[in-house]
């Protein structure tokens, strides 16, 4: 097996066709490991990060494994000497499922070679988004932590998804009676009193307008509640634009819009991959609440699920979290792991102490603080984030041509 590091400048012309083929044929494939997603993330979030994309080829030269890593400094001062190894795409954009790509027959050999090649090049492996039911995730954690098994810290984070039957009415009938009635009543009330259309972005020339409406509605809703919102940062909007274009070309984009009397009042940005619709982001018009309908987000989600069933998709994935607005749609839970692994030696020990052990301490404090203090701290953080968002937005407007 031939192991090689491929610098970012060479990804487009050296790897794209093979990378896409490996994505289709890998034993544990995720859309967040696609070249479109990883390259866009590196372009917009790769500052101060050293990309370490490592490939494996068999004797015939066929690409059989790909590991999308990056390295960064742990912190200022003495911590700057400690290098953290993480997955490309792990921050800022909602990459829920990460890991490596490998053909089944080459998986174990590739992971073993990977850990040998990376030995001594990191103080902390900070690995997010590992699917709990994927054998490669367990193997990766075990191999990276083999030389210091007492420095392996694991967290479990729940995700929500809906298994889809073959018929929308059968799906609705599986929901709790009260919520099923709500979905039907709101949908019928809206369609009876307004001209309603479900739109799906299908052409490149539609992207800019549809994305701007998504950003506008999303920011309007959250800023009204004193939050910064998800799209105050220009680089996140640019990332969405690039991903939407790439996924549209691949046939993966599922960007739905609820148009009421000619105006888009709700939107859902997602993508379909291997029989699953991943719902990444949604928004609705805060000021449009028709009598008897209220918020129209429920109507749009019901329509998007209906379209997913008609398309033959097997699952509707809400991604991370088990909030009530997700579970009422009949979700089941699955889990991802976040592993922090300290390397042998003093640097690894310090990095592990400053991350994994500090995380445990923060969780302990949160569990034992009076609820009013926790709520006060959360409100302070929200205000600080909102202030930074306003400053960034103001700076962007000043530098705009």
At 378, the pLDDT band (50, 70, 90 cuts) reads: low
Same topology between domain 2-156+336-368 and domain 165-313: yes
Q: Is the pLDDT of residue 219 over 80?
A: yes
Q: Provide φ and ψ at 99, rounded to 5°.
A: 140, -145
Distance from C-alpha of 108 to C-alpha of 208, rounded to nearest angstrom: 43
Q: What is the pLDDT of residue 241?
A: 98
Which tokens sit at 255?
């960007």
At 43, the pLDDT band (50, 70, 90 cuts) reads: very high
Q: What is the pLDDT of residue 381?
A: 63
Residue 307 CA: distances (Å) to CA of 6, 275, 313, 362: 40, 13, 9, 43
Which tokens sit at 147?
């030389």
Q: What is the pLDDT of residue 202?
A: 97
Q: What is the pLDDT of residue 335?
A: 97
% of the chain residues with pLDDT over 90: 79
Beta bridge partners of 183: none
Q: What is the pLDDT of residue 388?
A: 64
At 295, the pLDDT band (50, 70, 90 cuts) reads: confident
Q: Mean pLDDT score of the chain, rounded to an integer?
A: 91
Q: Is the pLDDT of residue 294 over 80?
A: yes
The packing angle between helices 207-224 and 234-250, to 10°, is: 140
At 226, the pLDDT band (50, 70, 90 cuts) reads: confident
Which residues, 6 or more positions from 36, have their beta carbon under 8 angstroms from its beta carbon?
Answer: 242, 243, 246, 247, 250
In this structure, the chain runs to a length of: 401
Could you name the CATH architecture of 2-156+336-368? 3-Layer(aba) Sandwich (3.40)
Q: Provide φ and ψ at 4, rounded to 5°.
A: -145, 145
Please give the average per-residue pLDDT across 163-177, as a whole number.
96
The better pLDDT of the pair 48, 23 is held by 23
Q: What is the pLDDT of residue 394?
A: 61
Distance from C-alpha of 126 to C-alpha of 151, rounded to nearest angstrom: 12
Q: Is the pLDDT of residue 149 over 80?
A: yes
Q: Is the pLDDT of residue 268 over 90?
A: yes
> pLDDT tens across 320-330, in order?
999 999 999 99
Q: What is the pLDDT of residue 75?
A: 82
The better pLDDT of the pair 46, 374 is held by 46
Q: Domain segments of the chain: what residues? A: 2-156+336-368, 165-313
Q: What is the pLDDT of residue 80?
A: 78
Q: Is the pLDDT of residue 181 over 80?
A: yes
Q: Is the pLDDT of residue 13 over 90?
A: no
The structure tokens 């919102």 sit at 229
Determine which of 94-103, 119-128, 149-158, 216-225 has the lowest per-residue pLDDT on average.
Answer: 216-225
The structure tokens 């590196």 sit at 42
The structure tokens 């090649």 sit at 117
218 contacts 230 by C-beta, under 8 angstroms: yes
Distance from C-alpha of 11 to C-alpha of 153, rounded to nearest angstrom: 32
Q: What is the pLDDT of residue 256?
A: 98
Distance from C-alpha of 287 to C-alpha of 47, rounded to nearest angstrom: 38
Q: Is the pLDDT of residue 400 over 60?
A: no
Q: What is the pLDDT of residue 365?
A: 67
At 285, the pLDDT band (50, 70, 90 cuts) reads: very high
> pLDDT tens across 63-118, in order?
999 999 999 999 887 677 789 999 999 999 999 999 999 999 999 999 999 999 99
> pLDDT tens across 339-375, in order?
999 999 999 999 999 998 888 777 666 676 677 765 6
> pLDDT tens across 233-264, in order?
999 999 999 999 999 999 999 999 999 999 99
Domain range 165-313, CATH class: alpha beta
Global pTM reads: 0.90
The packing angle between helices 35-45 and 11-25, to 10°, is: 140
């Amino acid at each position: 097996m031939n192991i090689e590091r491929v610098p970012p400048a060479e990804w487009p012309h050296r790897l794209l066709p093979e990378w896409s083929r490996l994505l289709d044929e890998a034993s544990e494939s995720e859309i967040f490991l696609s070249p479109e997603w990883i390259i866009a993330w590196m372009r917009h979030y790769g500052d101060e990060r050293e990309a370490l994309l490592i490939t494996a080829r068999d004797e015939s030269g066929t690409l059989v494994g790909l590991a999308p890593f990056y390295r960064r400094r742990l912190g200022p001062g003495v911590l700057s000497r400690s290098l953290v190894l993480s997955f490309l795409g792990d921050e800022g954009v909602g990459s829920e499922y990460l890991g490596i790509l490998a053909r089944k027959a080459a998986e174990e050999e590739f992971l073993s070679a990977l850990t040998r090649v990376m030995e001594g090049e990191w103080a902390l492996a900070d690995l997010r988004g590992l699917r709990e039911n994927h054998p490669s995730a367990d193997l990766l954690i075990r191999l990276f932590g083999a030389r210091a098994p007492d420095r392996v810290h694991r967290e479990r984070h729940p995700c929500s998804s809906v298994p889809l039957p073959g018929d929308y009415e059968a799906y609705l009938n599986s929901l709790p009676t009260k919520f099923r009635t709500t979905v039907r009543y709101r949908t019928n009330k809206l369609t009876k009193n307004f001209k309603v259309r479900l739109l799906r972005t299908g052409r490149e020339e539609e992207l800019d307008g549809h994305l701007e409406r998504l950003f506008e509605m999303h920011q309007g809703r959250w800023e009204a509640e004193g939050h910064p919102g998800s799209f105050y940062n220009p680089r996140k909007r640019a990332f969405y634009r690039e991903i939407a274009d790439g996924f549209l070309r691949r046939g993966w984009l599922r960007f739905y819009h609820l148009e009421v009397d000619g105006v888009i009042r709700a939107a859902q940005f997602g993508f379909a991959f291997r029989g699953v619709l991943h719902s990444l982001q949604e928004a609705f018009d805060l000021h449009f609440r028709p009598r008897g309908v209220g918020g129209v987000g429920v109507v749009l989600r019901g329509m998007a699920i209906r379209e997913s069933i008609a398309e033959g998709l097997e699952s509707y994935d809400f991604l991370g979290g088990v909030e009530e607005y997700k579970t009422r749609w009949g979700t089941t839970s699955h889990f991802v792991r976040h592993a922090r692994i300290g390397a042998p030696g003093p640097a690894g020990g310090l990095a592990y102490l400053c991350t994994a052990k500090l995380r445990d301490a923060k969780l302990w404090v949160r569990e034992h603080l009076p609820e009013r203090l926790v709520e006060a701290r959360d409100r302070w953080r929200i205000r600080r984030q909102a202030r930074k968002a306003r400053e960034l937005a103001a700076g962007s407007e000043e530098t705009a041509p």
